[in-house]
Amino acid sequence: MGWIFDGLEKSKQERHYSDIELFKRSLIRLAPFKKPAIIIVIAMSVGTLISLTTPIIFALVIDGLENATMNDLLKSFLLIGAFSFCIISILQWVIDYTVNIQFAKLVPDFMVTLRGDIFDGLARQDMKFFDKHRSGQLNSRVSRDAGDYGQVVTFITSVIGQIFTLLSIFLVLAFIDLPLALLSACVVPILAIMSILFRKVARSLSRTFRKVHGEINAAIAESVNGIRVSKSFGMENESLEDFKKINQKHYSAGFKQQLAMTSFFPAVELISIAGTLTIIFIGGQSAIQGGLSAGIVYLFISYLARFFFPVTQLVSFYAQVQQGLAAFERILEVIDTEPEIKDEGSIELDRIEGKIEFKNVDFAYVPEQPVLTNFSLTINPGEKLAIVGHTGAGKTSIISLLSRFYEFQKGTVLIDGNNIRDIKLKSYRRHVGVVLQKPFLFHGTVEENIRYGRQEASDEDVLRALKIVKADEIIGYLNDGLKSSVGEGGALLSTGTRQLISFARALLCDPRILILDEATSSVDAYTESIIQESLEELMKNRTSIVIAHRLSTVKDADRIIVIDKGEVIEQGSHEALLKKEGEYANLYNTYFKHQEITWTPTDSAQEAITEVVTNP
């Protein structure tokens, strides 16, 4: 039963970036927050210099032990050591506090901007992008991927501090004993090579894990949205079993990623320990032979331990950064994807008459499967046009192009003589009202949803819109009226009530072009009768385009066009098309005729009904 979530693994990441490009773009994104970042780097650098004084104090005490009396030792420890440690501890606390405060400012601000950019990237996309990506996977970009990449900010600022620490300690080691310092530095290229070799493994495993994590989110979202279907078919257990398979993939991907990480870090630690022991052995031999004092050997070993710490930190940071950069790649796939519909128009429309012209338009969702070919159609201002045709004929594609949901590949669409591509999107869509077959309401109140496209509307305008679509009485039955919550997607309301609210929402914007995509097909007969009463007022003085399966809507149209395989094969009034006895007459007899009040079953149909009744 794996078909329930079939296709989850088919989504591929189209864009890949080099580490250099990702680091450059990370620094660019960090640039607006340079003030706290600079403070962090400076504070960490100062903290490093202060921490370097602690081993020097111990080294002086150790070297002073050789000829010191107990009284001298106490004075040295109490007066110099204790006082120095106290000052150093206070300064270190102040520095750590400063770093933490600046991180507390930097990271949340960075995340707010990042998630805002991702959301803006999603909002800019046309419908083709959302056809290719599942909502759960896109949710993962905003939540999980953004959070993982946010850690890169911490890593980048910390890396700068660690590099300063590394260079400072190396200079001190070189000042004490240059040969030993150079020997210590030999460990650095070994660890660097290990990191570079590990990079591809870490990036690949991180990509895989994030992809599967997106599949988990997508599967959960689909299961929740389709819970009614699952329950109606009694498929809860089967859905659970399919989810377990995806969850197992998520576990396997996470296990491989963690295994790689946990295997890499101990190897780094072992090399660091081996380097430390080697230096201690060689330095110890030199001390025994009188080349170094005991205090200097202690000082060197202390700094040596501190030298390897930033090295291992840098290596571990690099490995963890690969996880963040893999997340950044997925984020950039959203931000860098250019929508086919570009808002590059310069024409601002204050008012339109509503004349629409399609001229030789070609359109395809997939290049090899054209939907419209050399399509031409003129719709006059104020005309009520009905579009009919079999499923897949191209009806919805026509209004999708007109709504600017998709971009056509060839031809021209004109609005009042203006090329639709030359009109600013926001300006154009302000004059277009769309009511879809499946009404969608946002979580909130009835009033908030009605005001969605025109939030500044007065209360009188809202009530007027409700009255025109005959929804005021139905809304009055709700416990809190306009303040009633609609639930997620409008789940707390009936389908008919949701549709009436979507009508009022469109009407409140007073569009010159009104598009109804089978807007009455999913409501009950009573609600349809209410909507039909309001349609005449709703369409008055507007260019109206209706895709309908209801006879009442089609018959009232000024003109009906019949679409077949993306072409207009018939057009005219209801009566005129019936007289032609062509494709419309066939559609009428198939879909519409039985909706006539005067319709009675044919003799053959009546005989079939009688047979069923008499011989059940």
Domains and CATH numbers, the chain: 19-335 (1.20.1560.10), 347-431+511-616 (3.40.50.300), 441-510 (3.40.50.300)
Query: Which of 22, 321, 308, 310 has the alpha carbon at shortest distance from 199?
Result: 321
pLDDT at 415: 93
pLDDT at 93: 86
pLDDT at 421: 92
* pLDDT tens digits for range 210-220: 677 667 766 66
* pLDDT tens digits for range 360-388: 999 998 888 889 999 999 999 999 999 98
Mean pLDDT of 219-233: 57
pLDDT of 499 strictly over 60: yes
At 610, is the pLDDT very low, low, confident or very high (cuts 50, 70, 90)? very low
pLDDT at 232: 46
pLDDT of 412 strictly over 90: yes
pLDDT at 611: 42
Find out whether 166 and 310 touch, Cβ atoms under 8 Å: yes
What 3-state DSSP class applies to 367?
coil
Count of Cβ atoms closer than 10 Å to residue 261 Cβ: 19
Roughly what angle, to the nearest 10 degrees, separates helices 187-225 and 178-185? 30
pLDDT of 577 strictly over 50: yes
Find out whether 489 and 441 touch, Cβ atoms under 8 Å: yes
* pLDDT tens digits for range 583-598: 888 887 776 665 554 5
Q: Which residue has the higher pLDDT, 599 or 207?
A: 207
Q: Which residue has the higher pLDDT, 471 or 210?
A: 471
Q: Fill in the DSSP letter of residue 406.
A: S
pLDDT of 108 strictly over 60: yes
Mean pLDDT of 136-163: 74
At 574, is the pLDDT very low, low, confident or very high (cuts 50, 70, 90)? confident
Q: Quick one: tokens of 126?
A: 């046309």
In degrees and rounded to multiples of 5, residue 180 shows phi and psi of -65, -35
Count of Cβ atoms closer than 10 Å to residue 67 Cβ: 7
Find out whether 117 and 337 touch, Cβ atoms under 8 Å: no
Using CA atoms, how far apart are residues 384 and 556, in angstroms rounded to an integer?
8
> Exposed, middle or buried by CB within 10 Å (0-12, 13-18, 19+), for 20?
exposed
Q: Which residue has the higher pLDDT, 126 or 401?
A: 401
Query: Which of 501, 592, 498 has the alpha carbon at shortest distance from 552?
Result: 592
Instruction: For the chain, give the mean pLDDT.
Output: 76
137-141, 429-433, 488-492 — which one is most confidently predicted on average? 429-433
Place of tokens 């339109």: 352
Using CA atoms, how far apart are residues 333 and 335, in angstroms rounded to an integer?
6
At 11, is the pLDDT very low, low, confident or very high (cuts 50, 70, 90)? very low
Count of Cβ atoms closer than 10 Å to residue 73 Cβ: 14
57-66, 86-95, 416-425 — which one is most confidently predicted on average? 416-425
pLDDT of 616 strictly over 50: no
Q: Which residue has the higher pLDDT, 555 or 569?
A: 569
pLDDT at 557: 86
The pTM score is 0.68
* pLDDT tens digits for range 178-221: 777 777 777 777 777 776 677 667 667 777 776 776 677 666 66
Using CA atoms, how far apart are residues 439 and 519, in angstroms rounded to an integer?
8
